[in-house]
Amino acid sequence: MRADALFDVRGLATIVTGAASGIGLACAEVMAANGARVTLMDRNANELENAVGRLTSDGMDVRGEVVDVTDRAGLNLAFDAAARVHGRMDVVFANAGVGGGAGFLTVKGERNPDGAFENISDQRWDDAVANNLSSMFWSIQAAVRHMKPQGGGRIIVTTSIAAIKAESVVGTPYMPVKAGAAHLVKQAALELARYGILVNAIAPGPFLTNISGRKMFDPDVRGYHERVVPMKRLGTTDEMMGLALFLASPASKYITGTQIVIDGGATLGSAD
Q: Which residues bind ligand NAD (CB under 6 A)?
A: 18, 20-24, 42-44, 47, 68-70, 95-98, 131-132, 135, 158, 160, 204, 206-207, 209-211
Annotation marks residue 224 as catalytic: no
Query: In a 10 Å sphere around its CB, with 0-12 CB exposed, 13-18 middle and 19+ buried, how is residue 16 labelled?
Result: buried
Q: Which lies closer to ligand NAD via its Cβ, residue 46 or residue 193? A: 46
Q: Which lies closer to ligand NAD via its Cβ, residue 97 or residue 115? A: 97
Q: Which lies closer to ligand NAD via its Cβ, residue 151 or residue 238? A: 238
Tell the smallest beta-carbon distance from residue 161 to ligand NAD (Å).
7
Tell the smallest beta-carbon distance from residue 205 to ligand NAD (Å).
6
Q: Which lies closer to ligand NAD via its Cβ, residue 101 or residue 151? A: 101
Evaluate whether 92 touches 143 at the Cβ level (below 8 Å): yes
Tell the smallest beta-carbon distance from residue 82 to ligand NAD (Å).
14
H helical segments located in 92-170: 122-129, 135-150
- Listed in sequence order, the residues at least 6 apart from 139 whose beta carbon sits closer than 8 Å to its beta carbon are 17, 69, 75, 79, 92, 94, 155, 157
Q: Which of 174, 195, 224, 254 is catalytic?
A: 174
Tell the smallest beta-carbon distance from residue 1 to ligand NAD (Å).
31
Three-state DSSP string of 250-270:
HHHCCCCCCEEEECCCHHHCC
Tell the smallest beta-carbon distance from residue 213 to ligand NAD (Å).
9
Please name the helix (run of DSSP H) or strand (run of DSSP E) that holds residue 40, with its range, or none. strand 37-42
Q: Given 3-state DSSP classes, what are the helix, strand and coil percentages for the chain, each rounded to the nearest 5? A: 50, 15, 35
Please name the helix (run of DSSP H) or strand (run of DSSP E) that holds residue 92, with its range, or none. strand 91-94
Tell the smallest beta-carbon distance from residue 173 to ligand NAD (Å).
12
Q: Which lies closer to ligand NAD via its Cβ, residue 28 or residue 198? A: 28
Query: In a 10 Å sphere around its CB, with 0-12 CB exposed, 13-18 middle and 19+ buried, how is residue 89 labelled?
Result: buried
Q: Which lies closer to ligand NAD via its Cβ, residue 36 or residue 40? A: 40
Please, what is the end-to-end C-alpha distance for the chain in angstroms? 40
Helical pair 72-86 and 135-150, crossing angle rounded to 10 deg: 30
Q: Which residues are catalytic, by number? A: 174
